[in-house]
Structure 1
Amino acid sequence: MKLAVLSREPINYSTQRLVSAAESRGHEVLVIDTLRCYMSIASHRPTIHYKGDALENVDAIIPRIGSSITFYGTAVVRQFEMMGTKTLNASLAISRSRDKLRSMQMLARKGIGLPITGFAHSPDEIPDLIQMVGGAPLVVKLLEGTQGIGVVLCETRKAAESVIEAFLGLDTNILVQEYIKEAGGADIRCFVIGDKVVASIKRQAAPGEFRSNLHRGGSAEVAKITPEERKTAVRAARVMGLDVAGVDILRSNHGPVVMEVNSSPGLEGIEMATGKDIAGLIVTHLEKMLIDKPKRVEG
């Protein structure tokens, strides 16, 4: 097969591992800077050009679309889809997962466990919004935030009112969520490929920090998950329509709750912690996708 990895970071761990795993299986691999792609949008013969040449005879792509380029990145993935190229994660699925509000609404509609979440536009509604999620402490999240950036823990009602008012005053979209204290600053990253959780790790926040992101100094270790957590992770990925996803779960007193479904989950943390060849499993799944007929997507 001729594969293309859409990535702006060719020396990134995840990119290099995917290239290595594909090449070891005898595939030809291109690493393509997503923002350097440009398109001819025509009904008779849609094409994608890259650095002056048409990209032709690409059997499948592995999108590694950063959150900052979601709009252009998903447009490139759609163009490949128009050309009949198989894509590991579809453009629509990536768009769904990147829209935090939309993804929460879709997961809620399917009955998947979530933290109590509020969304409002007017500062006049702040008191009731805080009450809606159970009062302080609570978490305020920017809809456009990623890797823990734009996430604030408000430990008192007064602090919550001030933070929410400040964000709304800047005309910024935010979510207000209940704080799952019993999680103890830890979450579970479930790596889903197809209909299986192939690996899971527990990410623990650094001392004095409540965000467990590895980019923020968190640590990772192998996690043993329950059947309910496994089922929740697979269902969450399926609702988004993602074949490969990182599903972040908190262990609450009322069962597992999904915090986020990531369409471009990093490989370094989970491969280092588990010792599993996740990149190889991704390439193997992509090979299977090229043979199997498209399956129905829930959601």
Structure 2
Amino acid sequence: MMLDLAMKIGILTRNPQAWCNLQLKQAMVKLGVTPVCFSFKDVMGTIGLGAGVTLNGKPIEGELSAVIVRPIGSGSLEQIILRVDLLKAMEYLGVKVVNRGEAIEKAVDKYYSLLLLDRSGIPVPATIATESYGEALKGYKMLGKDTVLKPIFGSRGVGVARVEVDDVAVRIFRLLSSQRSVIYLQSYIPHGFSDIRAFVIGDRVVAAARRVSSYWKTNVAQGAWTKPVKLTPELEE
């Protein structure tokens, strides 16, 4: 299938040479699409000045037909909020954004995304979140004292730690509370150092992979490896 030869699709990324971005660019070229890599630093949002969102000084709706976000990136709370706002503004201008700002807004916040999953009847690990050192200790005991501590914002297993010793829990929770950080804690679920990632488009699973590690973290960025897997109907559902 060949698309409009004049079509340009943006890849919003900090690293155009990353493996995933190179794969996206190759796929676009095969379809006759021109890939355009850029970062949030190339974008400006405007209100009351006509353009709405500019890319390197030009109205983005005149430059790109769609934008693939790879990824939202790390940053301060203000930066994350602005990035999501800019994606929403692009959509208002008619630019197709994948994933949409609203979807990223839900997914980037671990507590909120888990809340939505739980409310939809999808099983999730027992979880507590608090600013309080004292409440965190209560939650640690409620979770059975074998827990995983995570930052609410973040990916690739960075900043994730297993907390299963009382003295360690006291020191970590006290430190995080003194730094005005949130304590987001989940019950550890034994998984045989392996888990499954499924890629869903709409209501279909189009691909899946099993991640295998030599220890409890199964992030590829932390040393795990992946292999394609065919999901059973039960898992796919």
What is the aligned partner in structure 2 of residue 223 from structure 1?
229
Q: State the Cα distance separating 1:177 from its structure 2 match.
A: 0.8
* Distance in structure 2 (CA, Å) of the matches to 1:155 and 1:112: 26
Mapping for residues 150-165 of structure 1, pairs under 5 Å? 150-165=159-174
Structure 1 vs Structure 2 CA RMSD: 2.0
What is the aligned partner in structure 2 of residue 53 from structure 1?
58
Q: TM-score, normalised by structure 1?
A: 0.69
Mapping for residues 104-253 of structure 1, pairs under 5 Å? 104-133=114-143, 135-181=144-190, 183-206=191-214, 209-231=215-237
What is the aligned partner in structure 2 of residue 80 from structure 1?
90
Mapping for residues 86-101 of structure 1, pairs under 5 Å? 86-101=96-111
Sort the Cα spacing of 1:105 and 1:123 in 2 relative to 1 into closer, same or farther, 3 A. same
Q: State the Cα distance separating 1:213 from its structure 2 match.
A: 0.8
Q: TM-score, normalised by structure 2?
A: 0.86
* Distance in structure 1 (CA, Å) of the matches to 2:115 and 2:86: 26
Q: Aligned AA for 2:122?
A: I
The runs of at least 4 consecutive aligned structure 1 residues that moved more than 4 Å come to: none
Choose between structure 1 and 2 for higher RCO, CA contacts under 8 A separated by at least 6 residues: 1
* Distance in structure 2 (CA, Å) of the matches to 1:11 and 1:125: 44
Moved more, 89-98 or 70-79: 70-79
Q: State the Cα distance separating 1:218 from its structure 2 match.
A: 1.0
Q: Aligned AA for 2:203?
A: D
CA contact (8 A) 1:5 1:30 kept: yes
1:101-157, CA deviations, whole angstroms, 9 ceiling, x for partnerless residues? 111111111111101111122222234212322x12211112123211111112333
What is the aligned partner in structure 1 of residue 33 from structure 2?
27
* Distance in structure 1 (CA, Å) of the matches to 2:83 and 2:152: 18
Q: State the Cα distance separating 1:13 from its structure 2 match.
A: 1.4
Mapping for residues 277-292 of structure 1, pairs under 5 Å? none
Q: State the Cα distance separating 1:57 from its structure 2 match.
A: 4.9
* Distance in structure 1 (CA, Å) of the matches to 2:18 and 2:32: 21
* Distance in structure 2 (CA, Å) of the matches to 1:187 and 1:100: 18
Q: State the Cα distance separating 1:46 from its structure 2 match.
A: 3.6
Mapping for residues 6-25 of structure 1, pairs under 5 Å? 6-25=12-31
Q: State the Cα distance separating 1:39 from its structure 2 match.
A: 2.4
CA contact (8 A) 1:65 1:73 kept: no
What is the aligned partner in structure 2 of residue 250 from structure 1?
none
Q: Is the counterpart of residue 4 in structure 1 residue 10 in structure 2?
A: yes
Aligned residues: 226
Which structure 2 segments of 5+ residues have no match?
1-6
1:21-70, CA deviations, whole angstroms, 9 ceiling, x for partnerless residues? 11211123222222211122238x44332333333152221122333143
Sort the Cα spacing of 1:4 and 1:25 in 2 relative to 1 into closer, same or farther, 3 A. same
